[in-house]
């Protein structure tokens, strides 16, 4: 299915650039990007698009607005009033970008799908021949309580990347994971079965009242938001995730951080859009670390790229490199923690 064609009309070049960049992050095709006074120059032809984004700030009472009247006379939807785009490094940019996607999706019949196509689950295979070795310091039996909990956030291209990452991890790490994947809700159970087929970790569907244990991979429910109560038990919040898609990786990060704090880590894998970026910029100092999959190894890199643009990520690598980094990080953190305790 071809990508929806969007036309941008703005009298601010920076706004033109930011709008265009945001649209491409969500796989829209930018068919026109111009100043309003240039829109109808020449033969008066209006480009064929599926929707218009209009942002005009410097018009005065004497300005010629024939161009706008002609746009509004067509059957193509015209979106106005999105507000000036924040700079990309601004903490509010991910929220603005997500709101733009939601508005376009509400007026278009066929908006780009940012979630993974479930058909990929049937073709997943063991992609790692050699597992990362478990460091000797971690070979003692892991306690039931996880040393750390890591959020794995992914969208388009995520199942392949997350499976390769988990398949590479050695058995016995004192860690648990919360896996938040954008995918059709009908395939929520299939997702866990497919990802966990070759790994040494226990895939778990969400159930209220459960406490994460070392070796768990909790698949975040796609429809309903969950969090952890004061005792670390999972709680169904009784409503859908906020935002235009589920699960909301932003909200998963915030909910995990609320209970686990400095004992949590976050990895953003392949995906379209910017889910996760809004949350990671709000994490307190010392709550992390935050890593992202390398652009060259992604099927769609806009989600990890957006995370990197926040300036909060501390490591980038392909899925195997991320697994190796996690093992080394856990070993070093474990040694520092237990040496200081003793």
Q: What residues act catalytically?
A: 155, 182, 275
Distance (Å, rounded) from C-alpha 329 to C-alpha 265? 11
Q: If you count them, how many residues does the chain have? A: 342
DSSP state letters, 69-136: HHHHTSSS-EEE---PPPPTTSTTHHHHHHHHHHHHHHH-SSPPP-SBPGGGGGG-----SSPPPPPG
Contact between residue 278 and residue 248 where contact means Cβ atoms under 8 Å apart: no
Q: How many CA atoms lie within 13 A of 21 on its CB side?
A: 20
Tokens of 213: 């244990």
Contact between residue 51 and residue 7 where contact means Cβ atoms under 8 Å apart: yes
User: Which H helix or E strand runs over 260?
Assistant: helix 249-260
User: Dmax over Cα atoms in the chain, in whole Å?
Assistant: 80
Query: Closest Cα to residue 127, out of 194, 179, 190, 193?
Result: 194
């Amino acid at each position: 299915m071809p990508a929806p064609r969007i036309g941008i009309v703005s009298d601010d070049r920076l706004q033109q650039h930011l709008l265009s960049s945001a649209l491409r992050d969500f796989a829209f095709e930018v068919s026109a990007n111009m100043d309003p006074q240039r829109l109808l120059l020449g033969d008066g032809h209006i480009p064929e698009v599926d929707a218009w984004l209009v942002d005009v700030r410097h018009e005065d009472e004497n300005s010629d607005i024939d161009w706008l009247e002609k746009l509004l006379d067509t059957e193509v939807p015209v979106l106005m009033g999105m507000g000036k785009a924040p700079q990309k490094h601004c903490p509010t940019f991910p929220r603005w970008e997500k709101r733009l996607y939601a508005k376009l999706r509400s007026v278009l019949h066929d908006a780009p799908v940012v979630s993974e196509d479930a058909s990929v689950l049937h073709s997943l295979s063991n992609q790692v021949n050699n597992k990362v070795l478990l460091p000797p310091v971690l070979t003692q039996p892991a306690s039931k309580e996880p040393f750390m909990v890591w959020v794995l956030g992914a969208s388009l291209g995520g199942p392949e990347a997350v499976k390769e990452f988990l398949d590479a991890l050695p058995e016995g790490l004192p860690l648990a994971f919360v896996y938040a994947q954008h995918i059709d809700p009908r395939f929520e159970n299939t997702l866990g079965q497919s990802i966990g087929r070759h790994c040494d970790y226990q895939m778990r569907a969400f159930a209220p009242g459960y406490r994460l244990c070392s070796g768990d991979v909790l698949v975040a429910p796609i429809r309903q938001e969950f969090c952890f109560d004061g005792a670390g038990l999972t709680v169904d919040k009784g409503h859908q995730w906020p935002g235009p898609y589920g699960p909301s990786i932003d909200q998963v990060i915030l909910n995990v951080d609320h209970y686990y704090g400095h004992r949590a880590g976050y990895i953003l894998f392949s995906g379209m859009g910017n889910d996760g970026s809004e949350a990671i910029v709000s994490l307190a100092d010392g709550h992390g670390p935050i890593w992202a999959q390398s652009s060259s190894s992604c099927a769609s890199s806009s989600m990890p790229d957006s995370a990197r643009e926040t300036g909060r990520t501390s490591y980038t690598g392909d899925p195997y490199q991320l697994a190796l980094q996690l093992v080394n990080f856990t070993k070093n953190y474990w040694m520092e923690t237990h040496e200081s305790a003793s």
